[in-house]
Structure 1
Amino acid sequence: MTSPSPACSTGPTPPPPPCTGTTATVLSPRALLSDAQFNGVMHTVLDGNPGMEPEMAGRIVVEAIAFLATAAKSTTSLVPSRVVDEGWHALILHTGLYQGLCFRLGGFIHHVPERPDPGRRSQSSVERTVAAMEAAGYTPDRDLWRGPEDTTVSVAADCQHSDDGGTIIITPKPK
């Protein structure tokens, strides 16, 4: 793997755009936020999930950023896992940061949650999202993309996203 170009470092606010100046095909979602921004969001995850280790909270935030970066460019419906949705919720609570991140990714990504309904949850929707993330150049943390009913990682998030309900709305829509 080659070193990122200077434009891909986690420099001053606002953070740089996604790394594209390398020959590596794997993108770093972490590079989309400054250290202070990332730590603030990570601590929001920790605050909502007492007893969670900071390392796990950081992994959740990284996956949420990669999910959003993929969803912003996708023309198909994508859904976060229950665990990754926790990171998305934390990002949304940092409204200015979230707005800036969305617009750097290509458009504002609205979160429209649905009430939990186990009958509508689909592992195939989660797998489609993971495949889209891989195609976009990310390496999903598979332990955080398990099925909707998996409770290996305990998080407070309890909303759901169906695969065809239009729960993720990008403004403007990708072309």
Structure 2
Amino acid sequence: MPALARMLISDEQFASCRNTVMDANPAMSEEMAGRIVEEGIKFVAACSRNPGVGLAPSRIVDEGWHALILHTAVYADLCQRLGGAFVHHFPGYDPTNYDPPILDRTREKITELGWEADPQLWGPPTGETLVAVAAKCQHSPDCTIVITPKPKPGGVV
């Protein structure tokens, strides 16, 4: 998967998701919104390719994931093309649940796919982040994203 993650969806779909991020964050630049959507795509790919591992996005990347989810047909197709496992969202809203090892593990899985996780967008949920986002989810050990593999014929997982 070494091509740009944004190429997993069409240019039109990417622009629409980027616009959704900008709608939720009116002061955000188009360039920053695009970076956030691309990291969201990387996150979904990492989850799809690593079922059962328990991954989570940073608060900033969660904004890009939210934009993808709002484009339901695009999102369902993306999940299907990445392996068939639908990556469900389980929001967590307690910012004290920040757990660096979960983000480290997620970035490692992104790297294993041949991409680099944008270090400026995968930081802690503090006031010192690169950009403020509307997404308030803060995933933690109790709300990591764990994909259950698609059942095989005969009900065997």
Flag whether TM exceeds 0.5 (same fold): yes
Q: Name stretches of at least 5 consecutive residues in structure 2 with no aligned partner.
A: 152-156
Q: Deviations over 1:109-128 (max 9, x none)?
A: 1101122241x211221111
Deviation, 1:158, is 0.1
Post-superposition offset of 1:170? 4.5
Contact kept, 8 Å, 2:55 with 2:144, in 1: the verdict is no
Unmatched segments (≥5 aa) in structure 1: 1-18, 20-25
Aligned match of 1:65: 41
Point out 4+ residue stretches in structure 1 off by more than 6 angstroms: none
Match of 2:17 among 17, 25, 41: 41
Check conservation: 2:56, 2:144, Cα contact below 8 A: no
Residues matched between the structures, number:
149
The sequence identity of aligned pairs, in percent, is 45
For 2:27, give the aligned amino acid. G
- Aligned 1:1-175 pairs, distance under 5 A: 19=1, 26-75=2-51, 76-106=53-83, 107-118=85-96, 120-149=97-126, 150-170=128-148, 172=150
TM-score, scaled to structure 2: 0.87
Letter in 2 for 1:70: A
Cα distance in structure 1, aligned partners of 2:149 and 2:76: 11
State the one-letter code of the partner of 2:57.
P
Cα separation, 2, equivalents of 1:62 and 1:170: 24
Q: TM-score, normalised by structure 1?
A: 0.78
Decide whether the 8 Å contact of 1:112 with 1:168 is kept in 2.
Answer: no
Cα-Cα RMSD: 1.8
- Partners of 1:34 and 1:79 in 2: how far apart? 25
> What is the alpha-carbon distance in structure 1 between the residues aligned to residue 117 and residue 144 of structure 2?
23
| Shift in CA distance, 171/48, structure 1 to aligned 2, threshold 3 Å | farther
